[in-house]
Amino acid sequence: MRILERCGGLTLIETIVFILVVSIASLGVLAAVNVTLLHGSDPLVRKQALTIAESLLEEMQRMPLPGCDADDGGLAGAGWTTDDSTPCAADVAALSGRRDVTAAHAGYHASVRVEPTPLGNAAFSVPDALLITVSVTGPGNEAVRLQGYRTRYALPLP
């Protein structure tokens, strides 16, 4: 019986080719992961921006508007409209604009826009509602925008 001179296994060239193929494939996967990480949003930044936006929206919805609420004596229950036929025009204009974010939230910028808008449909409508839009931008241009409505709490007094 003849003994085979060659034993089974890998040659040096086969091993080098295998290492080369695996390293090229690994580089492709790592490049895809890197692109995803760089262009993906940071969940902590988005969550913080959302928390700031929710807080500002709730603050704006609960803020009393002098002259807008029937029980505050400003319009003596005469309704929402002022001389220029917009709901509480001076108060609404004062609410819109940039809001300062505390030092604990450095890098975040917030703005609030309040505008009169009708709510409802033909069957039921609230003619004088305020649409509140809160926009917060965080680090890396992570933007969050929330909208809510504020309507009159009390009916006019007779």
Alpha helices (H) along the chain: 12-39, 43-62, 89-95
> What sign for the dihedral angle of Cα 115, 117, 119, 125?
positive
Condensed to tens digits (0 to 9), the pLDDT of residues 60-85 reads 888 766 555 444 444 333 344 444 44
Confidence (pTM): 0.57
Q: Answer whether residue 116 shows pLDDT above 50.
A: yes
Lowest mean pLDDT among 8-22, 40-54, 85-99: 85-99
Residue 28: what pLDDT?
93
* Reported confidence tier of residue 93, pLDDT bands at 50, 70, 90: low
Residues 141, 109: contact at Cβ < 8 Å?
A: no
